[in-house]
Amino acid sequence: MTLYAKDKSFSAGWMIGGAVVMFIANLFLGTALAVLEVTSIWVLAGAACASFLIGGFMIGWKSEGQTIIEAGMAAALASGAAIMIVFVRSRGSSLEPLSLVIGTAPPFLCGLLGGFLGEKVQGDSVEVQD
């Protein structure tokens, strides 16, 4: 087995793929909670946090690059897409700014935390077979 240092280059593919995973997981959890008629903003934000944490962890664990930056940018993209959908679905009605902050800031931070934890699980070096 050969041990080598990880490549720390930024990967746009991991960022976009992670954003898609976070967004779809958030969409499915949100839909499931809507079917169950859950309306608490805190439960919805918790589900979003779980989605973003798992997505960030996957990026941090599997990507060799700058995993925390990739996870953070993926979380920002997924949060931005979610906000755009909320604006389109609201059709111009007034939205509570606090609801938008609660719905986007904690999931973004959970995406960063997931990337950090995934990076720690991955370690500083990669082992391959020759």
pLDDT tens readout for residues 46-63? 888 999 999 999 988 888
pLDDT number for residue 7: 65
* pLDDT for residue 90: 73
Evaluate if residue 126 carries a pLDDT over 70. Answer: no
Query: What pLDDT does 6 receive?
Result: 62
> Residue 38 has what DSSP assignment?
-
Which position has the higher pLDDT, 3 or 67? 67
pLDDT at 87 exceeding the cut of 70: yes
Using the predicted structure, report yes or no on whether residue 88 has a pLDDT greater than 90: no
- In this prediction, residues 14-33 reach a mean pLDDT of 90
pLDDT for 109: 92
Instruction: For residue 74, name the pLDDT band (cuts at 50, 70, 90).
Output: very high
Whether 100 shows a pLDDT value over 80: the answer reads no
- pTM of the predicted protein model: 0.80
Sequence-distant (≥ 6) Cβ neighbours of residue 112 within 8 angstroms: 56, 68, 71, 72, 75
55 vs 49: CA distance, rounded Å: 10
Q: DSSP code of 37?
A: T
